Structure 1
Amino acid sequence: MLDAAAMALFLWDRYLSARLSYGQARALLDEHTAVRGPGTGWDLHEYRHPSLTHLGEQGASLLMLMAKSGHKKPENVRRYFKPSPEAIAEVTSLLAPGDSRRWPTTSAGA
């Protein structure tokens, strides 16, 4: 986990009130997380999987995930979306509300 100083890095330049470029954000993240010298810190690209997964688990549509990630093809964004077992269980529970161990039965006359 990041310490409080690194968590305060929000990709915004406090002095100019302008959004940082990807390169600037990457350099700041590396500066605050490098333990063996420059270039050894965390990389922003590492956050693509967890951020897209979190957004997807919260209900973001495939089109929204594509817009956020900049992917043009659904198959490209899909490789970044890795739902947790809990998220899969939650969506599965929608099939049988109240009891995820049984399938609903139908009456013979239906």
Structure 2
Amino acid sequence: MWRLLYESAARSSEVLGLDVDELDLRNRRAQVRRKGGAVDVIVWRTGTARLLPRLLDGRRSGPVFTTDRRARVELPPADVDAGSGKARLSNRRAAELFETATGGWTLHQLRHSALTHAAERDANTSTLLAYSGHTAVVSPARYARVSGEALARWQAGRDPAARRRRGRECLINQLTVSPDAKIAGDLGRHTDLVPAWQGSALRATRMNGFQPG
């Protein structure tokens, strides 16, 4: 459950309300009812996709997440797995389990972390809105607080000198793996990199008839 909460950035109530027949395992998504009642889609990645079939163990109906023992009180049929008699896991119990397992973390911190990490990886506003299930632009801004380290990485990525350096390194790597006259010609325009041509890559291009100018 913890991995699904992080990968989908969904609220715990949305995930705990899921039934098995609402999961689209093949396409790694499910319909949930968002805060306020709107129906929306959450998606997940490989980690969750590998764990869900093990969790379900062949079940085709009932709550996705259940308690570890049979329900002690009478509950609505929709909140009980017919095969095992186990009840749907409550938000309170899920929070207790997670807090115990992590030494005090909250379920909401999983959602917060997911949105922050998405923002740090350059997710745009539209993506953050869809990911979080919010409808107001101002809402995800409360969660998407980019760290100083992420801001520094973003700024470094925008540095023109750094981009040129990465471009030259990429050309060198391509030339080393598969010498090609066109690539060599592109690289040859960077006269400051002539020393980096020494070795088999340069000899290979010369054999193909290319001479650096």
Is the structural similarity TM-score above 0.5? yes
Structure 1 residues 57 and 75, CA, compared in 2 at 3 Å: closer, same or farther? same
TM-score normalised to the size of structure 1? 0.56
> What letter matches 2:134 in structure 1?
H
Which runs of at least 4 in structure 1 moved beyond 6 Å after TM superposition? none
% identity of equivalent residues: 28
Gaps of 5+ in 1: 1-5, 36-40, 100-110
1:1-110 alignment runs, 5 A limit: 10=4, 12=52, 13-15=55-57, 16=59, 20=64, 24=89, 26-27=91-92, 29-35=94-100, 42-98=105-161
Structure 1 residues 20 and 89, CA, compared in 2 at 3 Å: closer, same or farther? same
Distance 1:54 1:17 in 2: 33
How far off is 1:74 after superposition? 1.0
> What letter matches 2:146 in structure 1?
P
Structure 1 residues 42 and 94, CA, compared in 2 at 3 Å: closer, same or farther? closer
Kept after mapping to 1: 8 A contact 2:56/2:64: no
TM-score normalised to the size of structure 2? 0.33
How far off is 1:56 after superposition? 1.5
The alignment of Structure 1 onto Structure 2 pairs a total of residues equal to 88
Q: Where is the strand percentage greater, Structure 1 or Structure 2?
A: 2
Structure 1 residues 91 and 74, CA, compared in 2 at 3 Å: closer, same or farther? same
Structure 1 residues 33 and 94, CA, compared in 2 at 3 Å: closer, same or farther? closer
